[in-house]
Amino acid sequence: MTNDLVEIRWHGRGGQGAVTSAELLAQAAISEGNYGQAFPSFGPERRGAPVMAFVRIAKNEPIRVRAEITQPDVVVVLDPGLLSIANVAAGLKKNGIVVINTKKMAEQIRREFGINASLATVDATRIAQELLGVPITNTTMVGAVVRATGVVDTESLIEPLKNRFGRLAERNVNAMKRAYEETVIKELRVG
């Protein structure tokens, strides 16, 4: 994405790492000399309940707005089950993209859920299970977001991943990079 300000809204369930994903992306942006902001949407969340997290990345000016993101450039869906219970693409900007953890093809997602936007899909659950031994998709989905948007460089994520995951960092870096490679993007330009 080439916008000066990129706004990303993450949809997941409590315990899946949506907040961690948002923080990692903001930290990578800051390490590249940009401005980054990440924060969760808190309510009566509990493990397994739907949650949101937000990221803003700006290239030229500090980020002054602190409100939740209602008109994102990018929507990220960690749990594909959320597609059937929430309108995750609500407010998505024209020419925005939805990045989804799914086994399904983009055309099937569009047909089943009426998402009329560019889609980036990756089976992040499979990658996480294979490389991390658990179906927690936060670091894999960060790789998918970077592939879909180019908002940061994958190398900029390595240090934040090391700081967050310590001895498990290498496996998380590998999961992030593999998701980056396996993400399939199907563009849909809106006139």
Residue 68 has pLDDT above 60, yes or no: yes
CATH fold label, 5-186: Pyruvate-ferredoxin Oxidoreductase; domain 3 (3.40.920)
Burial label, 46 (beta-carbon count in 10 A; 0-12, 13-18, 19+): exposed
Q: How do strand 50-58 and strand 35-41 relate by DSSP bridges? A: antiparallel
Q: Where are the domains of the chain?
A: 5-186
191 pLDDT tier (thresholds 50, 70, 90): low
Amino acid identity of residue 93, one-letter, is: K
Considering only CA atoms, which of 156, 178, 185, 183 is closest in space to residue 25? 156
Q: How many residues does the chain have?
A: 191
pLDDT at 86: 87
pLDDT at 154: 97
pLDDT at 190: 58
* pTM for this model (two decimals): 0.94
pLDDT at 48: 72
User: What tens digit of pLDDT does each residue of 17-64 get?
Assistant: 999 999 999 999 999 999 999 999 866 656 678 899 999 999 999 999
